[in-house]
Amino acid sequence: MKFKLLLFILLKKMQGAAKKNPAFKKFIKDKNLKMNIKTADNKNGRQYIFNNGKITSRSGVQEDSVMSMVWCDAETGFKTMSSPNEEAPVAALTEQKLVIEGKFKEFAWFSRSLDIMMGKA
C-alpha cells in the first residue's frame, strides 16, 4: 500500500512541477512517453504518461508502456524511492533489485527529469 501511495505522490509532485517549475516544464514540453513503475509480480504499479508538457497517470500496470522500472517487490521499491541516499537507486540497479525493461534511453530521460524536478540538475 505504501508503494502505491508513493507512486501517486510522485504523480502529484510531477504535475505540480510541470506547472510551477520552469526548468522541468521546459524539459518535458515536447516529450511523449508512456512508462510504468511496477513490481516484478505486476501486482503493484502505475503508468505515467508524458504528453507534450502534460503528465497524467493510470493505476496498475499498462501494457502500452515503452519502458518499465521493475522493482523486485513493493517494500524494496518504497524504501529505495523514499530514501534520502541518492546512491540507493544505483545500488538497486547493481543488485538487480531494480530492472529496466524496454528502452533504457527513456529511463535515462525520466531519471534526468526527476533530477530537474528536485533541483539537482
Q: What does the block give as the cell for 11?
A: 504523480
pLDDT digits (tens, 9 = 90+) for 84-111: 998 999 999 999 999 999 999 999 999 9
Q: What per-residue confidence (pLDDT) applies to 86?
A: 87
What's this model's pTM, rounded to 2 decimal places? Answer: 0.94
b (16+ CB within 10 A) / e for 17-30: bbeebeebeebbee
Domain count, the chain: 1
pLDDT digits (tens, 9 = 90+) for 26-75: 999 999 999 999 999 999 999 999 999 999 999 999 999 999 999 999 99
Give the structural domain span for 6: 2-117
Query: CATH number, domain at 108?
Result: 3.30.1050.10
CA distance 110 to 61: 17
pLDDT digits (tens, 9 = 90+) for 5-39: 999 999 999 999 999 999 999 999 999 999 999 99
Q: What per-residue confidence (pLDDT) applies to 1?
A: 83
